[in-house]
């Protein structure tokens, strides 16, 4: 689907393969890579993390609602805390 050769890739390496492929696309398209490239510094990280927390809560609520209605097939995750 991404164009990467995954013939001999182990399941646990899927994230690395996907991130490497996305980075290649970003490079080909001259898309900025990383927080520094788009104007952030390490001082901004606490605020960025804080801003993501409501998204995690939203995801939890959506996932719970789907599971209650029986529509959550395939939503099971190793990340039980999410």
Q: pLDDT per residue over 15-61, tens digit each?
A: 899 999 988 998 999 988 888 888 999 999 999 888 887 776 776 77
Does pLDDT of 62 surpass 90?
no
Domain count, the chain: 2
Across residues 62-67, what is the average pLDDT? Answer: 65
Q: Which domain holds residue 64?
A: 40-74
Are 1 and 27 within one domain?
yes
* Cα–Cα distance measured from residue 48 to residue 60, given in angstroms and rounded to the nearest whole number: 19
The pTM is what? 0.46
Does pLDDT of 67 surpass 90?
no
Q: What is the pLDDT of residue 49?
A: 87
| DSSP assigned state of 35 | T
Are 45 and 70 within one domain?
yes
- Is 27 contained in some domain? yes
* Cα–Cα distance measured from residue 35 to residue 37, given in angstroms and rounded to the nearest whole number: 5
């Amino acid at each position: 689907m991404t164009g990467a050769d995954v013939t001999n890739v182990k399941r646990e390496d899927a994230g690395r393969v996907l991130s490497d492929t996305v980075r290649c696309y970003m490079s080909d398209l001259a898309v900025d890579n990383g927080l520094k490239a788009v104007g952030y510094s390490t001082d901004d990280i606490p605020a960025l993390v804080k801003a993501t927390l409501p998204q995690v809560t939203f995801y939890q609520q959506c996932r719970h609602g789907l599971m209650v209605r029986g529509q959550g097939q395939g939503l099971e995750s190793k990340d039980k805390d999410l």
